[in-house]
């Protein structure tokens, strides 16, 4: 193991929760290198947790251990698991859908259920609401530091058994392609769609082409316009929209130096669909 | 010393202040491991600084050095101190109440006043507003790296002399117990009270029991309802309230996947009291 | 090189972007020590990026490598460069004005243009919008880890050639001095001006003196009052204003435990000028 331990949660950075998790991990092994993916996953949003893991994980070295805790079901009978990816990285997480994008786009080789009897911070038995500290940070630290082996996490369960959220993907439509608005490039307000670059490209679109974009909210058309397909924001004037391939290799829509999401009131999730077709 | 140096401030993460503090510390010893508790303590809020230290510190190894800078009195004659806890950890801070919870719940073994003549960043004499960088980060780094010993911080002062805020604690009332709403689980809006789990339990409450909760703002009743006492959020339906023991082993009130604080407009501090009694 | 690699961006902390940058850097050399200046530079605000670098850099050891990515021109023909400062630190950045304050107040010894053919993350050729990850974090990590030498970054360009923003500085006026409101101490709402302490002092002002302050928005007077010049906030009562020298050794205006910016609706930038003169 490479001693890199990466935390992600929906706990925010305003209190002592993340620090308690860090302290637990350093108490296991002071030589760990703890990093933070993001702690600003919107509360309870398992889809976003899954997506952000996918957005970052491929850039990290083999043997990196990720701990992702977006856990609205803490205290229920949802399982706690560690997944080993096909790229030899580990993810410690409640089994609630957080592994969806990793399973689909990276591949999971093996999953083990965390046996809490052996893998829980000592004297934390009375604590029922902070598995992030008592179980996940603790187990992630013990795995990343080779205090325990992957096998010692607990019994193997089938990779088919893990909880996966439904992904919309993309679908061919007359003259183009349809996807879902999955998530925002939060800071800049760009719309990141579920349409992979390869599928978009297969429609025959070329750089510089004007493309007709329609956005639907619950099947109601809320945006319909012609948008240029560029390589990057600088290909259009400031305040103009563009279609581009985002850094996660899916198609996106932005306004150069503006927020497409705010200007047009566009949201994310299953209610929000987008069509790109020949103008 | 274990080389772990943990910073906490109310400076936020929007400018270069925290980075200047880090740079000062790494200039003392490039082998330090600098971590961040939180920098989003509400401005000037010494009570919260004290509480967040208490929330995290017990999970960190012995010999960890904490630097906490919520310092509305910077430039006044408030002392600068380093406290050694009974658990062999160190806290570098203005002596303004930040040590309150540590003194009460962890225990302070020895306090030394920082002698600025020897313990101040070189060439910073003209700087009067950023002791976090010029005195606290610098002294914390020198202590954590064993550049100076605890004794070299400055003269010992009595532990009785340090400034402590008043803590409400809890009080028995007819059929139950009364406390203060101390702080929020900020991200989720749960109310964290001053009622320790042990005192609550001594009232005879059992898991699954319905408990009558009253919340008062300046002695005016603003919430009165029956709330179930559960182990964790999943014990009640989404949007339902519950009483639970929080991760700092005090009693708390939450709405499952909602914000109790926002829904009912409940705040924190001495103006906000809560009573839990047999329904 | 000292293995310290410090990131600054306007990407925020809400998604996986910073983590992807970290992963790229650790994939280059797992022994790097990656730190974060701030990721909350206001979007596209090159002036602020330049200022925050300047605010922090002098406190860091020699040989530290900074990566600053506020890059509205990503995908345009703006250059990518590495600057070596006179203090033997390195800054990896788009050449868009980010080096302005460093050039003026620290000094730049040598600049090299990043030759992307050799200095770009492998298999990232299709990615046009995230040079922060594909070029800057990658090159910064390779430089900080001595995987490449400064010379291997690319060809030297003249330090005169780099893009610099205009700085207002300060100007003598009848009985005092005039400057621009450059930036806020964001968290506390204090106004940080472009008036250096030395120039202010040369006007003959003394601690404890009442000074007449005028603030202009587009040449319209919006604030005019007498403000005490103190060493620190504690020199005036809570809610009272004061003039002080900030931690970057420029003159500033604050309200003790309040936000001057919010209370009086004062902004920053070329539209906002301030005059301090004998009362």
In CATH, what number is assigned to the domain containing residue A268?
A: 2.40.30.90
Chain-centre distance of CA C212, in angstroms? 28
For position A119, what pLDDT does the model report? 96
When divided into structural domains, chain A yields a total of: 2
Q: What is the dihedral of CA B207, B212, B217, B218, to 10 degrees?
A: -110
CB-CB under 8 Å, A39 with C19: no
B226 and chain C: CB distance < 8 Å anywhere? no
pTM: 0.97
Residue A125, pLDDT above cutoff 90: no
Contacts of A186 in chain C (CB under 8 A): 12, 14-15
For position A126, what pLDDT does the model report? 87
State the nearest Cα–Cα gap between C232 and chain A, in angstroms: 27
Contacts of C27 in chain A (CB under 8 A): 59-61
User: Between chain B and chain C, how many beta carbons pairs sit less than 8 Å apart?
Assistant: 108
Whole-number Å distance between alpha carbons of A94 and B236: 19
State the nearest Cα–Cα gap between A34 and chain B, in angstroms: 9
For position B251, what pLDDT does the model report? 98
Which comes out higher in pLDDT, residue C96 or C234?
C96
CB-CB under 8 Å, A72 with B257: yes
Do both C137 and C184 map to the same domain? no
Do both B72 and B199 map to the same domain? no
Do both A30 and A152 map to the same domain? yes
Compute the average pLDDT of residues A232-245: 95
For position B125, what pLDDT does the model report? 87
Contacts of C73 in chain A (CB under 8 A): 234
Q: What whole-number percentage of chain B has pLDDT above 70? A: 100
Residue B132, pLDDT above cutoff 90: yes
Q: Which of A14, C12, C39, C13 is nearest to B38 (CA)?
A: A14
For position C241, what pLDDT does the model report? 97
Residue B75, pLDDT above cutoff 90: no
Do both C24 and C155 map to the same domain? yes
Subunits next to A (3 or more Cβ pairs <8 Å) are B, C
Whole-number Å distance between alpha carbons of A5 and A24: 12
Predicted confidence (pLDDT) per residue in B144-171, tens digit: 999 999 999 999 999 999 999 999 999 9
For position C125, what pLDDT does the model report? 87
Give the pLDDT band (50/70/90) at residue A76. confident
Contacts of C16 in chain A (CB under 8 A): 37-38, 51-56
Per DSSP, A204 falls in state: T
What mean pLDDT is reported for chain B?
97
Do both A207 and A264 map to the same domain? yes
Nearest-by-Cβ selection for C14 from A33, A187, A246: A187
Residue A15, pLDDT above cutoff 90: yes
Q: What whole-number percentage of chain B has pLDDT above 90? A: 96
Contacts of B44 in chain C (CB under 8 A): 257
Nearest-by-Cβ selection for A55 from C20, C26, C126: C20
End-to-end distance of chain B based on CA atoms, in angstroms? 52
Query: How buried is residue B104: exposed, middle or buried, by Cβ count under 10 Å (0-12/13-18/19+)?
Result: middle
Residues sharing a CB contact under 8 Å with residue B219, sequence separation 6 or more, in sequence order: B273
Give the pLDDT band (50/70/90) at residue B76. confident
Do both A125 and A197 map to the same domain? no
Give the pLDDT band (50/70/90) at residue B211. very high
Decide if A226 contacts C66 (C-beta within 8 A): no
Predicted confidence (pLDDT) per residue in B25-40, tens digit: 999 999 999 999 999 9
CATH number of the domain within which B21 lies:
3.40.50.10790
Whole-number Å distance between alpha carbons of A206 and A193: 18
Name the closest residue on chain C to residue B17, using Cα atoms. Answer: C56
For position C126, what pLDDT does the model report? 87
State the nearest Cα–Cα gap between A61 and chain B, in angstroms: 21
What mean pLDDT is reported for chain A?
97
Compute the average pLDDT of residues C216-222: 97
Do both A137 and A101 map to the same domain? yes
What mean pLDDT is reported for chain C?
97
Residue C267, pLDDT above cutoff 90: yes
* Residue of A7, A33, A47, A247 to mutate, testing the C interface (most C Cβ within 10 Å of its Cβ): A247
Compute the average pLDDT of residues B233-243: 95
Residue A63, pLDDT above cutoff 90: yes
Whole-number Å distance between alpha carbons of A216 and C247: 51
Q: What angle do CA C205, C210, C216 make, to 5 degrees?
A: 90
Residue C274, pLDDT above cutoff 90: yes
* Residue of C14, C18, C234, C253 to mutate, testing the B interface (most B Cβ within 10 Å of its Cβ): C234
CB-CB under 8 Å, B232 with A23: no
Which of B112, B137, B161 is the last residue before a domain boundary? B161
**A142 torsion bin: left (phi>0), alpha (psi -120 to 50), beta (else):** alpha
Domain membership of residue A200 as a residue range:
170-278
For C121, the token pair is: 């993350």
Q: Which secondary structure element, helix H or strand E, spans residue C268, and what is its range? A: none
Nearest-by-Cβ selection for C2 from B12, B30, B76: B30
B13 and chain C: CB distance < 8 Å anywhere? yes
Contacts of C21 in chain A (CB under 8 A): 59
Query: What is the gyration radius of the CA atoms in chain A, in angstroms?
Result: 21
**Residue for token pair 């491929």:** A58
Residue C75, pLDDT above cutoff 90: no
Compute the average pLDDT of residues A248-264: 97
Do both A33 and A136 map to the same domain? yes
CB-CB under 8 Å, A234 with C74: yes
Residue A233, pLDDT above cutoff 90: yes
Name the closest residue on chain C to residue A37, using Cα atoms. Answer: C19
For position A172, what pLDDT does the model report? 96
CB-CB under 8 Å, B30 with C61: yes
C52 and chain B: CB distance < 8 Å anywhere? yes
Query: How buried is residue B107: exposed, middle or buried, by Cβ count under 10 Å (0-12/13-18/19+)?
Result: exposed
Do both B228 and B255 map to the same domain? yes
CB-CB under 8 Å, C235 with B75: yes
Predicted confidence (pLDDT) per residue in C9-52, tens digit: 999 999 999 999 999 999 999 999 999 999 999 999 999 999 99
Do both B228 and B274 map to the same domain? yes
Which of C161, C195, C211 is the last residue before a domain boundary? C161
Residue C131, pLDDT above cutoff 90: yes
Compute the average pLDDT of residues B128-143: 96
For position C87, what pLDDT does the model report? 98
Which of A141, A161, A181 is the last residue before a domain boundary? A161
Do both A30 and A145 map to the same domain? yes
User: What is the secondary structure of C162-203 as a DSSP string?
Assistant: S-------EEEETTEEEEEEEEEETTTTEEEEEEEHHHHHHT
Give the pLDDT band (50/70/90) at residue A265. very high
Per DSSP, A56 falls in state: H
For position C65, what pLDDT does the model report? 98
Do both C87 and C192 map to the same domain? no
């Amino acid at each position: 193991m490479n001693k890199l331990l990466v935390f992600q949660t929906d706990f925010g950075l305003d209190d002592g929760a993340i620090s308690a998790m860090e302290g637990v991990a350093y108490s296991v092994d002071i030589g760990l290198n703890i990093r933070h993916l993001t702690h600003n996953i919107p509360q309870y949003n398992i889809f976003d947790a899954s997506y952000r893991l996918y957005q970052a994980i491929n850039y990290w070295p083999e043997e990196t251990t990720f701990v992702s805790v977006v856990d609205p079901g803490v205290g229920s009978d949802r399982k706690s698991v560690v997944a080993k990816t096909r790229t030899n990285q580990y993810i410690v997480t409640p089994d609630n859908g957080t592994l969806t994008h990793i399973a689909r786009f990276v591949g999971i080789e093996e999953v083990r259920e965390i046996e809490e009897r052996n893998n829980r911070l000592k004297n934390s038995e009375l604590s029922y609401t902070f598995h992030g500290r008592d179980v996940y940070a603790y187990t992630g630290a013990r795995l990343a530091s080779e205090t325990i082996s992957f096998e010692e996490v607990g019994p193997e369960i089938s990779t088919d058994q893990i909880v996966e959220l439904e992904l919309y993907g993309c679908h061919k439509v007359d003259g183009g392609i349809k996807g879902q608005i999955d998530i925002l490039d939060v800071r800049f307000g760009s719309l990141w769609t579920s349409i992979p670059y390869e599928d978009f490209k297969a429609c025959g679109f070329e750089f510089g082409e004007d493309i007709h974009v329609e956005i639907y909210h619950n099947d109601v058309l809320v945006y319909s316009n012609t948008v240029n397909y560029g390589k990057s924001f600088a290909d259009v004037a400031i305040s103009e929209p563009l279609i581009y391939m985002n850094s996660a290799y899916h198609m996106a829509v932005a306004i150069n130096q503006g927020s497409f999401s705010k200007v047009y009131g566009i949201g994310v999730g299953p209610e929000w669909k987008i069509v790109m077709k020949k103008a």
